[in-house]
Amino acid sequence: MPMMMPGMGFGGAMKGAGKGKDKEEKMISDVKLQGFKAAAKIKVIKEVRGFTDLGLKEAKELIEKAPTLLKKGVTKEEAEKIIQKMMEVGAKVSIE
């Protein structure tokens, strides 16, 4: 009966996990606010607060700095959802 050394059975699992991680890293992106319509400022602030942990004051200050980074290190799917919501309220956003 062959003896296994500790950790031998996990070598294949570790290699497979590394490949999946590479794919995840490629799918990560940042969402940047390019600008927004003045009439939509309140709606934009509400949306920013919805997908960040910012308070009202912080969200207002963030969007007033446009163009600025809204959220960093999100998946492509999440970034597309954020962009869709932001465009619905009158903001111009992009993925970087």
**Tens-digit pLDDT profile for residues 8-50:** 545 544 445 555 554 544 568 889 999 998 899 999 999 999 9
Evaluate whether residue 16 is within a structural domain.
no
Full residue range of the structural domain in which residue 84 is found:
28-95
Is the pLDDT at 89 greater than 80, yes or no? yes
* Structural domain count, the chain: 1
Q: Above 80 in pLDDT, residue 63?
A: yes
* Residue 21: Cβ-neighbour burial (10 angstroms; 0-12, 13-18, 19+): exposed
Q: In CATH, what number is assigned to the domain containing residue 62? A: 3.30.1390.10
pTM, two decimals, is 0.67
Could you tell me the pLDDT band of residue 84, with boundaries at 50, 70 and 90? very high
Residue 28: per-residue pLDDT: 81
Any idea which residue has 């992106």 for tokens?
A: 29
Contact 86, 63 (CB under 8 A): no
Does residue 17 lie in a domain region?
no
Is residue 19 one of the residues assigned to a domain?
no
